[in-house]
Amino acid sequence: MTVILDGKKLRDKIFEDLKVKVANMSVKPSLAVILAGDDPSSKIYVNNKKKCAEKLGINSIIINYPSTVTENELLEKIQELNNDKNINAILVQLPLPVHIDKFKIIDAITPEKDVDGLTTYNSGKLFSGEKPYVYPCTPKGILLLLDEYGIEIEGKHAVVIGRSNLVGKPVAQMLLNKNATVTQCHSKTKNLSDITKTADILISAVGKKVVGENMLKSNCVVIDVGIFRDENGNLSGDVDFETVSKTASYITPVPGGVGPMTIASLMLNTVKLTEACR
Ligand code: GUN
């Protein structure tokens, strides 16, 4: 029988615990989110983050900039937030407008307030097998979900499709740090299904329908990070749920799988950074 990995249910459980924890903290956690430009999905994500934070008693501010914002304006704001004792966590929503060097902007965040775990310092710690201040939100959410359902990682063949800095690379590294054998696939990978057929755990994070029928062995654990609108305007993931769910042992739905876990991890990270500050 296929088990649905219910990200909403686990998120709600994490939120219940966090609400109590935050209520008992002497310092109210504060998250600052920088949103530059007018990408409609980013606006929805950022507002959602604020709503969730407020539900948990976490302060949250959104700092909006037009798509014409300069690198210097962003760098100055980040410096101000780095020095602000009332801000514990900083997130720069991606993507940034194309004329902005995202690496320069992200690296301006002090690692102690880098709630996404994306700075060179924190990703360097992750990639050297040391502990960063926090782990990137989506990969952390995926590992929490696997753990919640008692899915073992050690010794398993994990295939990751996608190599973004936000998801593909860090999740592959986190699985490797937990002693999985990891294969990373991407847009130039040849014979993708020959590789996916050997996966015990498959994670797809590309934003395109890339995993279909007959691409996986029976009882594979399937994690679908993709979420996009298909040609008919319907929300879709990277995985053809209809066919793949017939043979998978565990599978995340879209929506309701990885998405809620990303938000849960963001809130966990905000609280963690606040606790480390004191
Ligand atoms: N854009 C889409 N997902 C994310 C995320 O997890 N963090 C940031 N900073 N931007 C994103």
| Structure confidence at residue 278 (pLDDT) | 59
Distance (Å, whole) CA 256 – CA 150: 19
Which protein residues touch ligand 1 with a CB less than 6 Å away?
91-94, 116, 137-138, 166, 262
Are 31 and 52 in contact, with CB atoms under 8 Å apart?
no
Interior angle at CA 205, CA 202 and CA 210, nearest 5: 75
Residue in 40, 18, 39, 41 with CA at minimum distance from that of residue 28: 18
Write the burial class of residue 214 (CB in 10 Å: 0-12 exposed, 13-18 middle, 19+ buried).
exposed
Q: Which residue's CA is the nearest one to ligand 1's atom 11?
A: 94
pLDDT, one tens digit per residue, over 144-171 is: 999 999 999 999 999 999 999 999 999 9
Distance (Å, whole) CA 255 – CA 63: 27
- Residue showing tokens 């990885």: 258
What residues have CB less than 8 Å from 1, skipping those under 6 apart? none
Cα(94) to ligand 1 centroid in Å equals: 5
Residue in 65, 66, 122, 67 with CA at minimum distance from that of residue 89: 122
| Structure confidence at residue 277 (pLDDT) | 84
Average pLDDT over residues 234-244: 96
The reply to whether CATH 3.40.50.10860 applies to domain 27-111 is yes
Q: Which residue's CA is the nearest one to ligand 1's atom 6?
A: 137
Are 117 and 90 in contact, with CB atoms under 8 Å apart?
no
Are 226 and 254 in contact, with CB atoms under 8 Å apart?
yes
pLDDT, one tens digit per residue, over 114-129 is: 999 999 999 999 999 9
Q: What is the mean pLDDT of the chain?
A: 97
CATH class as words, domain 137-258: alpha beta
pLDDT, one tens digit per residue, over 68-87 is: 999 999 999 999 999 999 99
- In this chain, the answer to whether the domains covering 27-111 and 137-258 adopt an identical fold is yes
Length of the chain in terms of residues written: 278
pLDDT, one tens digit per residue, over 7-25 is: 999 999 999 999 999 999 9
Are 11 and 260 in contact, with CB atoms under 8 Å apart?
yes
Cα(93) to ligand 1 centroid in Å equals: 5
The overall longest dimension of the chain from CA atoms, in Å, is: 55
Distance (Å, whole) CA 41 – CA 98: 16
What residues have CB less than 8 Å from 233, skipping those under 6 apart? none
Q: Which residue's CA is the nearest one to ligand 1's atom 2?
A: 94
Domain ranges for the chain, please list them.
Answer: 27-111, 137-258
